[in-house]
Chain A
Amino acid sequence: ETGVTQSPTHLIKTRGQQVTLRCSSQSGHNTVSWYQQALGQGPQFIFQYYREEENGRGNFPPRFSGLQFPNYSSELNVNALELDDSALYLCASSSPQRYGYTFGSGTRLTVV
């Protein structure tokens, strides 16, 4: 089975710009979650999508938004980038029958 694929792997943006990160879920997984991992920290939950609807959100401002598509791939959009948004962004997919989440290798975003 295919794993979770994220693109791009690395990205450098300027403060104030907008960015879109992409995730292809593992085949058969209809739930996708996004996490932000700052350097030296554990991942922080951003939001989760189930069958194209957001069904949970962490403590992140509205400039963090997402989409899930009918093929269960997903996007994370961040507007008005700030320096503190520099982090590794991880996508994880799951299904109700799945024992745990499958994570991608992440996108490392640097905001300068």
Chain B
Amino acid sequence: AQKVTQAQTEISVVEKEDVTLDCVYETRDTTYYLFWYKQPPSGELVFLIRRNSFDEQNEISGRYSWNFQKSTSSFNFTITASQVVDSAVYFCALSEARGGSNYKLTFGKGTLLTVNP
């Protein structure tokens, strides 16, 4: 069975601080995908990144960066120079790979990030 653990329930930072959201996962699959989604108060889940289990390269997109370490089954997300607009619930998720496509996302419980001005 797949499992995703986000140990941080809530994080509060002051604007411009860097913040790292932790994600640890469990799976027996050798091929899988890892995701991060952002959920603002409107409820819609906004896709941030997908990472293939065979690609351990870290990725940077603007102020966002992701650190994937297969050896520790972790896929952490860092926001550099946080802004008030970053305030949201962030979910880490894991999916099986079927025919090269995503299948069935398993989500963590989410981390509520509050960025104070």
Contacts and interface: CB of A to CB of B under 8 A. Distances in A.
A21 interface: no
Contacts of B93: 42
Given A88-B43, A106-B43, A101 B99 contact: no
Contact of B50 (A48, A100, A103): A100
Contacts, number: 62
A94 B47 CA distance: 12
Contacts of B44: 103-106
A108 B110 CA distance: 18
Contacts of B35: 100
Contacts of B104: 33, 45, 48, 56, 58
B61 interface: no
B91 interface: yes
Contacts of A45: 104-106
Nearest to A95: B101
How many A residues touch the partner, as a band? 20 to 34
A62 interface: no
Contacts of A31: 101
Interface residues of B, number: 24
Contacts of A41: 109-110
B11 to A, nearest CB: 15
A90 interface: yes
B45 interface: yes
A96 B102 CA distance: 8
A110 interface: no
A73 to B, nearest CB: 18
B62 interface: no
B47 A100 contact: yes
Given A43-B107, A45-B104, A92-B105, 7 more contacts: A41-B109, A42-B108, A90-B45, A99-B50, A100-B47, A100-B102, A103-B46
